[in-house]
Amino acid sequence: MTRSPWRGAAVAVVAVVTLLPMVPVVLWAVAGAWRYPDLLPPETSLRGLRLLAGDGVLGALGTSVLVSTSVALLACLVGLPAGRALGLHRFRGRRLVQFLLLAPIIVPPLAVTLGLQVFFVRYGLADTVGGVVLVQLVPTVPYAASLLAAAHADLDTDHERAARVLGAGPVRTLLHVSLPLLRPALVTAFLLTFLISWSEYVLTLLVGGGRVTTLPLLLFSAIESSDRTAAAALGLLVVLPPVLLVLALTRVAGRDVAWVGVSRA
């Protein structure tokens, strides 16, 4: 591929435009008083970053990690068998099942949750981490199932058959043969569903009722408050894990569905 100066310039323009919106976030996170029309903060301050070590933020960080890990685990647990059925078996109604599993990508989870909220309240799931985890399965299970269906479709089932012939039971076959073969897809599905859950705001707000405080909830109220430094610092805390995860994900997966999922996060 030839390189010419204008191509370098084009790359630079694309890179700058893509990165530009994050620039003020980084600046505000370390800014002291920064009044209009100063282009750059006249003084830096560690106040924003220090806020991140506060009790509220650490608590929310813990809740976020707990919720997202549980959601990712459950979504993979639910998605794995479904992916197996879809990837390995041809059966009547397969297309319908596929369509149903994709429904949450099309029908907005917000619309769905508004209808269900009264039941969450009635059964004591509202305001609980459990309720939030449950509702977040809606936007995550479809991706776990699609990813794992694709992985199963590519799976060489000869290994499983060989293991069974050699006398391994179904559990041993699953643990020692199938899962290792599916590992890359499982890792991708886990990271992806973790990410979607990590970014979720409105479902957490609705079902968590302000009592299950994840980082996005804190960030939202920080953006609404008049403290831009606090909002920017929190924004950095919220954005770093997913970006790092995805850059890691780039190495283990190249599937379209992963990118669709990431962009929905």
Partner 1 sequence: MTRPARAIAATAALTATALLATACGGGQEEAVAVDTSDWDAVLAQAEGQSVDWYMYGGDQRLNDFVNGEVADRLAELGVTLNQVKITDTAEAVNKVLGEQQAGRTSGGSVDAIWVNGENFATGVQADLWACGWTADLPNARYVDLDDPAVATDFGVPVQGCEAAWQQASSALVYDSAVLDEADVESVESLLEWAATDPGRFTHPAPPDFTGSMAVRTFLYDTLGADAVTAAAEGGGLADEDYEQARDETFARLLDASDDFWRGGETYPVSQEEVEKLYADGEISAFLTYGPGAVGSLVEDGVFPESTRTTVLSVGNISNVSFVGVPANAEDRAGAMVLADVLQDPEVQLGLYEATGIFPVVDLDTVDPALAERFAAVDAGPSVLSPEELTADALPELDSATLARIEDDWRAQVLRGTG
Partner 2 sequence: MSRVRATTWRPGPRLRVVLLLTPALLVVGVFVVGGVLQAVLQSLGFAPVVGESQWTLDAYRRVVTDPVVHDSLLLTARVSVISTALAAVLGTALALLVRRLGGRRRLAALFHGTLAVPHLVGALAIGLLLSPSGLLSRAAYRLGLVDSVQDVPALTQDAFGWGIIAEYTWKETPFVAVVALAALSRRVSDLEDVASTLGATRWQRLREVTLPVLAPPVAAASVLVLAFVTASYEVPRLLGRPYPATLSVEAFQRYRDIDLTSRPEAMALAVVIALLTTLAALAYLRLVGGLTRRSL
Question: Quick check: 145 binds partner 2 (CB under 8 A)?
Answer: yes
**Integer Cα distance of 143 and 114 in angstroms:** 22
- With CB under 8 A as the contact rule, the residue among 9, 22, 33, 107 that binds partner 1 is 33
251 binds, among partner 1, partner 2, none (CB under 5 to 8 A by kind): none
**Integer Cα distance of 93 and 145 in angstroms:** 16
CB of 116 to partner 1, least distance (A): 9
Q: What residues from 67 to 86 belong to the interface with partner 1 (CB under 8 A)?
A: none
**Integer Cα distance of 199 and 72 in angstroms:** 13
Instruction: With both helix axes pointing from N to C terminus, report the angle between 256-264 and 129-153 in degrees, rounded to the nearest 10.
Output: 160
- With CB under 8 A as the contact rule, the residue among 21, 53, 55, 226 that binds partner 2 is 21
DSSP one-letter string for 15-82: HHHHHTTHHHHHHHHTBSS--TT-SS-SSB-SHHHHHTTSHHHHHHHHHHHHHHHHHHHHHHHHHHHH
197 within 8 A of 72, measured Cβ to Cβ: yes
Residues 6+ apart with CB under 8 A from 94: 86
Q: What residues from 204 to 223 belong to the interface with partner 2 (CB under 8 A)?
A: 206, 216, 219-220, 223
5 binds, among partner 1, partner 2, none (CB under 5 to 8 A by kind): none
28 binds, among partner 1, partner 2, none (CB under 5 to 8 A by kind): partner 2
Q: What residues from 71 to 90 belong to the interface with partner 2 (CB under 8 A)?
A: 77-79, 81-82, 84-86, 89
Q: What residues from 82 to 121 belong to the interface with partner 1 (CB under 8 A)?
A: 93, 95-96, 99-100, 117-119, 121
- With CB under 8 A as the contact rule, the residue among 2, 3, 5, 35 that binds partner 1 is 35
Residues β-bridged to residue 31: 44
CB of 68 to partner 2, least distance (A): 12
Cβ atoms within 10 A of the Cβ of 225, count?
A: 10
Question: Quick check: 98 binds partner 2 (CB under 8 A)?
Answer: yes
65 within 8 A of 197, measured Cβ to Cβ: no
Of 20 and 96, CB closest to partner 1: 96
**Integer Cα distance of 67 and 55 in angstroms:** 18
Of 3 and 122, CB closest to partner 1: 122
Question: Quick check: 11 binds partner 2 (CB under 8 A)?
Answer: yes
Instruction: Tell me which residues touch partner 1 (CB under 8 A).
Output: 33, 35-36, 93, 95-96, 99-100, 117-119, 121-124, 126-127, 209-211, 221, 224-228
